[in-house]
Structure formats: structure tokens, C-alpha cells
Amino acid sequence: MRLSCISNFGYTFVMNIESLLKKKNIKVTTARVALLKLLEAASKPVCYEEIKGRIAMDKATFYRNMITFEEAGILNAFESHSKMRYFELGHTPHAHFVCTACNGVECIESIDVQLPGYEIGTIVIHGRCRSCVEAGV
Amino acid sequence: MRLSCISNFGYTFVMNIESLLKKKNIKVTTARVALLKLLEAASKPVCYEEIKGRIAMDKATFYRNMITFEEAGILNAFESHSKMRYFELGHTPHAHFVCTACNGVECIESIDVQLPGYEIGTIVIHGRCRSCVEAGV
DNA sequence: GTTTTAAATGCAACCAAGTTGCATTTGTTA
DNA sequence: TAACAAATGCAACTTGGTTGCATTTAAAAC
């Protein structure tokens, strides 16, 4: 299994993912390495719909691994409008914008919300994104 | 129909709802008056689950009227975590907090988010609410 | 290197919030 | 009061996500 990963994604990268999983006591499997590789390469949060076209994987496996990653603290999840869950590797906390016109999802780094006494997880802003506003969609 | 409303909710209130609907060219029905009365009385956004225990109404009728009210601009909607849509009468724009521990929904008036070029609809903040943080839930 | 065993995967059946089609009822207008 | 368009209720459907279970796979023991 490791050999095929090496040929696909390069040695260094695989080692990082493997050591991350091992550090979190999560078994290293083909599916998990492929998922983390794809999430790492993505510049935006992704949903199962987007992933299934690029990795052959049952949705049960996908969602179960997302839960595993989330519980290990290496992944953030949120829901767009219309019931779809989006996932991204967890780095600096930031908000997300979901466009109700084009369904696009963007990371928003520029806002900072404080709510004393509350523990803030994810922030989702719905509306029309800049492109759709400009295009009058 | 109007008589029963009067006895239940009082004359003035019914007249306000009726005139609101007429102004928006929405037909005045028993279901709509009951829904708007309940939404007006609620201090928080409500979902179908909460409403069906208090008004006998098919869910198709409920959701269709929510769409009607939303399109008329008298209602705001957003989704909690776990796929449920919440509705509230549309007054001053504000954010909502959804607690992932107790599933409670709160209005947050104190934050103000600006995103130049974007058109912001609803803002949903997920996390643990003050009560749950204090209780260590 | 082989065996063992606990966990991960894939499949299919399931779940539930929300939607749709259609026959019946209700509100409005003539 | 009659006629018509719109609203309602019911039941069937849609769909993103979950669950149960038999099979496969990774990692530890030998």
C-alpha cells in the first residue's frame, strides 16, 4: 500500500500524513491517506459530492473517516445551506462564506468574532458572494 | 375564521397580521394567521418540530408558507447543525448562535460583520453556549 | 514471514427533514 | 350565491447522511 502512495503523491508528503495519523493513534489506511492528501491539496472546504468523483470510496467510509478526523482535531466541518457538510483540514480558525446563488464556499480570514462566555466553533455566513453580486446573479 | 382568532389572540393583533398579509398580496388563511401569531410571540427562531406540537398543521403546509413568507421578505430562515431549518419574523438583521451541546438557538445582536462586495444574508455561529460552557457540558 | 485479531471498508438497507403531486377544501371576486 | 383560483392535507418521494453486518486489511504476536 505504501508503494502506491509513494508513486502517486511523493514520499515526503506520505510520510507526513502517516506520522500525523500515527501520532493521533489512527490506523494508517489507503482510504485515509488518500482523503488527507486530497484535503491537503484543496484550497477550499470540500464535500462528499466533490470527493467521490476523484476518489473511489463508499460514502459510509468517507463520513466515518470525517468523524474520526474531526474527533482527532485535525478537521473542521460545517454545513452549507441545503444540508451538505463541508470539511477542511483544521488550521487557523476562520469563518466561511456560502453563496446562496452559486453554492460556492469560501474561507473568510478577515473577520474576528468575540462572544464572551461562549465557545465559538465554526462561523458560517450565507449570502451572495462578490462574483455573484457583481454579475447581478 | 376571524372570530376564533379574535377570541384566541385579541382583536388588534389579528388586524395587524391581516393587514400585513394583505399589503403583501398574500391570501389571509387560518394557517397563516396562526403561524404568524406564533412566530410573533416567540422570542427565538423556531423549527417545524417545535411548531407542530402547538399548531395542528401538515408539514407541507408549514414549509410552503415559510417559503411564501420568506419570499415576501417578512421572515428569515437558517439551518442549525443537523439539518433543521429555523424561522423567525424578519426584523433587525442579526446573527444566531446554535449550541452543539444543548441544540439551543439564540439571537446574537452584538456582532457586526462587514464584507465589502458581498451581500450578507444570515450569519450562524456554532459552538457551546454560555450555559453549557459554565455547566461544563 | 506467517498467524492472529481488532479495526476499517463496502454494500445495502435504513432514517428523517424537507419537497412534490394531486384531490379536496377554503377564501375571494364577480 | 356561484365560480374560480389558491391553500391545505395526505401520501409518496427525494436525498444527504447513518447503521448493521459480512468481508477485507493493517498491525501486533509469534
How do the domains of chain A map onto residue ranges? 2-135
**How close is the nearest chain A Cα to the Cα of B7, in Å?**
39
| Nearest CB neighbour to B111, from listed A113, A122, A127 | A113
Q: Which of B119, B129, B133, B134 to mutate to test binding with chain A, by most A CBs within 10 Å of its CB?
A: B119
> What confidence tens digit (pLDDT) does each residue in B21-66 have?
999 999 999 999 999 999 999 989 999 999 999 999 999 999 999 9
The reported pLDDT for the residue numbered A93 is 85
Residue A13 has pLDDT above 90, yes or no: no
Read off the pLDDT of residues A66-86 as tens digits, 9 standing for 90 and up.
999 999 999 999 999 878 999
SS (H, E, C) B25-71: CCCCCHHHHHHHHHHHHCCCCECHHHHHCCCCCCHHHHHHHHHHHHH
Fold (CATH) for B2-135: Arc Repressor Mutant, subunit A (1.10.10)
Place of cell 468575540: A114
Q: Are B68 and B87 in contact (CB under 8 A)?
A: no
**CB-based contact B97 A118, cutoff 8 Å:** yes
